[in-house]
Structures are given as structure tokens and as C-alpha cells.
Amino acid sequence: MSPAPLPRIAEAMRRPPLAALPPVVRGIGQVDFMASYWTGVLFIVALFVGGWQYGVFGLLGAGVATLTAYVFGAATDRIRLGLEGFPGTLIGVAFVLYLGASWVTLLLTIGGCVAGSVLTSAMNAVLTPYNLPTLTAPFCVITTVMLLASYAFQNVRRGAIHPAPPSAAHGGTALSWNDVWQGMFRGIGQIFFQDKWYVGLIFLVGLLVASRVAAVAAVLSSLLGMFVAWALGAPAAHVAAGLYGYNAVLTALAICGVFVVLSPLGVLYAAIGASAATGLTAAVTDFFLPFGGHTLTWPFVLVTWVFLAAVPVLSRLRRV
């Protein structure tokens, strides 16, 4: 039986601060399914290059989520590998992006990450019998609820919430060479809401440190997402910004070796999933548009759940 919360809080306070650092750093890397400590370090560097607010709130989110899981007795292996921290990372970055850096946002981030940690455990209990991972669903739920609720609270909004992206039905579709290569990096960075190509490059280096396969999959799936969106007539500005790439990247990473055994058919399966996530990105964006919601990583979560649920009845594919 796990120790009661209060003794675990006291125990956490007695531990050297650096002892708690590896799980938090790995939690940031686990946003892209990488448990490598050095990948997490490079991801932190990328966030700070994108803006100090993202680095601070990303670390805060991962730390609060990891501490919450520890205090309430989550599995030690999950904490050590960073699996309890990554939803908090995204919650922290999303909150400071959409709500602005303030004391209110700080308190909301702490509360949101505590709730996200509890939701992660609840979703694990529900999904584990079906052999499905939670993915970034806890982050999606907490962030969507908070952003929609924020319109009712004057002290939360303060005009800092960014508008939802415009509809995918408007804008020119011609892409330049710069749009393509910069958009590829942006598609990787947009997983963390970063729209600068050089920040996406740092994230790619972080992936390469952990896995060459993951790095190649990220590049190819980002390009695939861009191509599918362009072929369907998405606005060039959105394609070049990576808005149609990041869900494709996460979907491909999940299916191509993380949850499905890597094989030629597995690669094809991942490519189909990445393409589906790209199409669903436009649908989810337009769905949330009327009431000011945001796409987040909902397309990745929904498509990956469907594709993983199908694997047990597809004899030529195997779950990891």
C-alpha cells in the first residue's frame, strides 16, 4: 500500500532538489514519447529559445504534475520515466500562451496540472483494460475546459487569449521553398506551440539524440502533413506555420515504433494515420471555431486511439 499523501510530501521535501530533476526533465521529453534525459534537456532549451515564459511554465507544469503523481502514490516506474509529467508540460505552455504570463495564470497552471495528474490516473484506469494509452488526452481535456471557461472570468481573460485559428477554407495555397523547409521544422515545434523554425530544429535534434528512427519519422510525417493539407487546398500560411504538421508528427511517432512494432506495413499504417490526423485537424479547428476553442492535439489523440484499437484484429500488425 502506498504511503499517505502527507508523509510523502514530507519525504519529497527532505530529498535533495536535484534528485527530483530527472523525472521532470524526462516528462518534458515524453511529450514526444522520448524517455531520454538529454532529449528532455534539449526540449527545455528549445522552449526557452522560443520564449522564457514557455520554458518557465513548461518546467512548472511538468514539476507540479510529477509531484502530484508522487504524493498520491502513482507507480514509481511511471514517475521515473516521466510518464506522469508530460501532460503538465503542455498545460503549462498552453496556459501561458493563451492566457499570458501573470499570477492568475501561475495559479491556474498549478491547479490545472494537479487536475491533469488526477485525470491521467483516471484515464489510465479506464483505458488500460483496452490496452490504450492516455496520450495527451488529459492535457486536451484540462486545457479545453479552462480556455472555454475563461470567457466567463474577467480576471482570467484580460484580453490575452489568442483567437482560434481562421477557418481552413480561406487563403491562398501556393507554397514557396522557404515555406516548405521552414514549415517542416515548425510542424515539429508546434507540438509545443512553437512557431519559429529554428525552435523546431532544436526539438528535432532532441529527437535525434534519443532515436534516429523517431527523428526521421518526425521529418517525414511533418512533410506528409504539409503535403496532404496543401493537396486538399489548405491556406499556405497555415501549412507553412506547421499547423497541419504537428498532429501528423505525433501520430506517426506513436504508431511508427512506439505502440506498433516497426515494419514496412507499420510504416504504411503510420503514414495513413498521419494523413488522417491532418484531415481531422481541419475538422476539429472548424468545430471549435464558433465558440473560441482550440485544436490542440485532439486530432492526434482521436486518430491514434482508433488506429491502436484496430491493431489486435489486423493480423499483419503487432502492438509493442
Residue span of the structural domain in which 300 resides? 177-313
Whether residues 183 and 152 share a domain: the answer is no
Whether residues 221 and 134 share a domain: the answer is no
Residue 130 in domain: yes
**Residue whose C-alpha is closest to residue 87's, from 140, 144, 146:** 140
Whether residues 153 and 272 share a domain: the answer is no
SS3 annotation, 260-315: ECCCHHHHHHHHHHHHHHHHHHHHHHHHHHHHCCCCCCHHHHHHHHHHHHHHHHCC
Residue finishing a domain among 109, 124, 157: 157
**Nearest-angstrom CA–CA distance, 250 and 274:** 8
Across the strands, what pairs with 260? 319
Residue 168 in domain: no
Whether residues 148 and 22 share a domain: the answer is yes
Domain count, the chain: 2
Residue 261 in domain: yes
Whether residues 214 and 300 share a domain: the answer is yes
**Residue whose C-alpha is closest to residue 228's, from 200, 247, 253, 213:** 247
Whether residues 203 and 283 share a domain: the answer is yes
Whether residues 181 and 141 share a domain: the answer is no
Mean pLDDT along residues 123-152:
95
Query: pLDDT tens for residues 41-86?
Result: 999 999 999 999 999 999 999 999 999 999 999 999 999 999 999 9
Q: Is residue 49 within 8 Å of residue 202, measured between CB atoms?
A: yes
Whether residues 137 and 17 share a domain: the answer is yes
Residue 39 in domain: yes
Task: Tell me: pLDDT of 168 over 50.
Answer: no
Mean pLDDT along residues 294-302:
97
Q: What pLDDT, on the 0 to 100 scale, is given for residue 150?
A: 86
**Nearest-angstrom CA–CA distance, 9 and 5:** 6
Residue 50 in domain: yes
Whether residues 115 and 56 share a domain: the answer is yes
Quote the crossing angle between the two packed helices 212-231 and 197-210, to the nearest 10°. Answer: 140
**Nearest-angstrom CA–CA distance, 44 and 29:** 9
Whether residues 130 and 232 share a domain: the answer is no
Return all residues near 75 (Cβ < 8 A) that are at least 6 apart.
none
Whether residues 142 and 91 share a domain: the answer is yes
Residue 165 in domain: no
* Percentage of the chain modeled with pLDDT above 90: 82
Q: Specify burial of residue 118 (Cβ count, 10 A radius: 0-12, 13-18, 19+).
A: middle
Task: Tell me: pLDDT of 7 over 70.
Answer: no
Q: Residue-wise over 260-296: b if at least 16 C-beta within 10 A, else e? A: bebeeebbebbbebbbbbbbbbbebbbebbeeebbbb
Backbone angles phi, psi at 260, to 5 degrees: -125, 135
Mean pLDDT along residues 105-131:
97
Report the predicted TM-score, pTM, of the whole model to 2 decimal places: 0.91
**Residue whose C-alpha is closest to residue 256's, from 206, 211, 201:** 211
Average pLDDT of the chain, as a whole number: 91
Residue finishing a domain among 128, 157, 186: 157
The pLDDT confidence band at residue 171, using thresholds 50, 70 and 90, is low
Q: What pLDDT, on the 0 to 100 scale, is given for residue 19?
A: 59
Whether residues 130 and 245 share a domain: the answer is no
Residue 200 in domain: yes
C-alpha grid cell for residue 272? Answer: 495513413
Tell me the CATH number at 256. Answer: 1.10.3430.10
Q: Which residue has the higher pLDDT, 14 or 279?
A: 279
Residue 318 in domain: no
Q: What pLDDT, on the 0 to 100 scale, is given for residue 166?
A: 44
Q: What pLDDT, on the 0 to 100 scale, is given for residue 157?
A: 64
